[in-house]
Chains A and B, each alone.
Chain A
Amino acid sequence: MHGLINRAIQCFVADTYGRDAWIAVTHRADLGFSEFEAMMTYPEELTPRVLDAACRELAKARDELLEDIGTYLVSHPQAEAVRRLLRFGGVTFLDFLHSLDDLPERARLAVSDLVLPALDLVEHRPGHYTLHVHAQQEGFGPVLLGVLRAMADDYGALVFTELRPAGPGRDAIEITLYATAYAEGRRFELGGGAG
């Protein structure tokens, strides 16, 4: 799995539960090192091992942990770059939902060997959507659920989301959008990022 994904797990554990907790996870997973490099690729089996170790160390269910990682990616100050890149998706939460189809390609433009799950948004009727997630590996669905919930907060939108597993590597997230501007979202300025 790409170093960026492994490093996201590392940063989530270290920033949320402290560095010691992360070191304990690396021991449990018998990792042999304590730092994932964002720009390197690691064997596939390492990621589930680290996730299992984190679940046991933090006494959390797998899906719960994954969803927390998704929330962390959007809302933690350490991960601000991720939030900003997601906010490029659109001016409103609805724009953002519709931009998700492009997300894997956008990611590949930035980091050519980063493979994210295929995303497909289906609109049933205004305000009611299903986001289909299709990945080579397990676990992206709950992460995306966390991302969506945090992004809704970020935009100030009121949504209801529900995760429905749909086979190996497949998830469906049911999204009901009650209000696009329910609360004051967080500010986003195009020119506020790099440099």
Chain B
Amino acid sequence: MEACPDVLDALCPLHAILDRRGCIAHAGPTLVKLRPEDTLPGRDAFEVFEVTRPRALAGIDDLFAHARMRLHLRLRAAPRTKLKGVLVPLPGERGAILNLSFGISILDAVRDYALTNTDFAATDLAMEMLYLVEAKSAAMEASRKLNLRLQGAMIAAEEQAFTDTLTGLKNRRALDHVLARLVERGARFAVMQLDLDYFKAVNDSMGHAAGDHVLQQVARLLVEETRAADTVARVGGDEFVIVLGEPGERDQVAHVAERLIRRIEEPVFFDGRQARISASAGSALSWDYARPDPARMLADADRGLYASKAAGRARHSFAAPDG
């Protein structure tokens, strides 16, 4: 049987016909395209290709001994493209056909050698492979962008879920998180419950818009009068909780409360009308407890708050932890 070069050129354009000494007798058109500078016919196949697997092939006889096995090869000259191949001897010791393919290196190969559809056999799946890689990359990119947008939306949603929408303060959920974190850390902190006094009168006489405005003003000054490490939360209509981290001593907590109440008492103007309110507060201190518990501290602070209201409002009280 003759090796018919023109048949092989069409069926497997990336091939070489070797003579019995292992020299290239004919190179398929795509192989020629990989080595435009070289004249391949006449050259020793072993000089052109390096066999990387099986390892340590000593020479062309060794290569012939590995006929019909999967070969991993590499072009010796840059860009040292990796190839897969199989060597099939021609009958009568008249040499062999070395058929090659790019395998996974196809993406680099089409770029490095500017290959086109016509460089591949009609039956080669290379085009489908290239198409798939490109189509999948585009689809992946679209999915990746969607993931990023969804992640952004999730973060925004979580943010909102921890925020009181009217005042921008933290909400009850956020407060629970903050208190749990402080207890975990064994931090020293104070919990202050603060209710507005006479707020209902503002709402009733001046309307809800005025009431909302007052709440926003109170929220603003509570944030102003506390430190960044403190937490201000709105937990009900006109009920606030302030968590003071490392607040110093008992007196200093009382001092902060007094200052907040005095600021809240400053008149607020809405539509040219003046709204006057005040606030009552009660606090609990973490260091009054052997094992501080957020729910219990909030309840105790609440009792302090009611003591303040009972004593005539516009003041602050501590509740004894075991009272």
Contact = CB atoms under 8 A, between A and B. Distances in A.
Contacts of A191: 107, 110-112, 114-115
Interface of B: 107, 110-112, 114-118, 127, 130-139, 142-143, 145-146, 149
Contacts of A40: 146
Contacts of B111: 189-192
Nearest to B115: A190
Interface in A165-195: 189-195
A91 B138 contact: no
Contact of A194 (B137, B146, B149): B137
Contact of B146 (A39, A84, A95, A111): A39
B107 A85 contact: no
Interface in A2-32: 4
Given A91-B117, A190-B116, A38 B136 contact: no
A110 interface: yes
A109 B146 contact: no
Interface string A71-105: 00000000001001100101100010000000000
Contacts of A109: 131-132, 135
Nearest to A91: B117
A193 B149 CA distance: 25
A67 B139 CA distance: 24
Contacts of B131: 85, 88, 106, 109
Interface in A137-185: none
Tell me what chain B mostly uses at the interface: helix, strand, loop, or mixed: helix
Contacts of B110: 189-191
10 contacts: A37-B149, A38-B142, A40-B146, A85-B131, A88-B130, A110-B138, A190-B110, A190-B111, A193-B134, A194-B137
Contacts of B149: 37
A110 B114 contact: no
A39 B139 contact: yes
Given A190-B130, A193-B134, A194-B133, A110 B139 contact: yes
Given A88-B130, A189-B110, A189-B111, 18 more contacts: A37-B149, A38-B145, A81-B134, A81-B138, A84-B134, A88-B131, A90-B117, A91-B116, A95-B117, A109-B131, A110-B132, A110-B139, A190-B117, A191-B111, A193-B134, A193-B137, A194-B133, A194-B137
Nearest to A4: B142
B117 A110 contact: no
Given A88-B127, A191-B107, A191-B111, A38 B146 contact: yes
B144 to A, nearest CB: 9
B137 A39 contact: no
A191 B131 CA distance: 11
A116 to B, nearest CB: 13
Contacts of A111: 135, 139
Nearest to A88: B131
Interface string A30-60: 0000000111100000000000000000000
Contact of B137 (A4, A38, A192, A195): A195
A39 B142 contact: yes
Nearest to A194: B137
Contact of B134 (A4, A88, A90, A95): A88
Given A38-B146, A39-B146, A191-B110, A106 B116 contact: no
A174 B241 CA distance: 75
B146 to A, nearest CB: 5
Contacts of A90: 117
Nearest to B136: A110
A39 B115 CA distance: 32
Contacts of A88: 127, 130-131, 134
Contacts of B130: 88, 190
Going nearest first, the 9 A-B pairs with the smallest beta carbon separation are A191-B111, A110-B135, A194-B137, A191-B110, A38-B142, A190-B110, A88-B131, A193-B134, A81-B138
Contacts of B136: 110
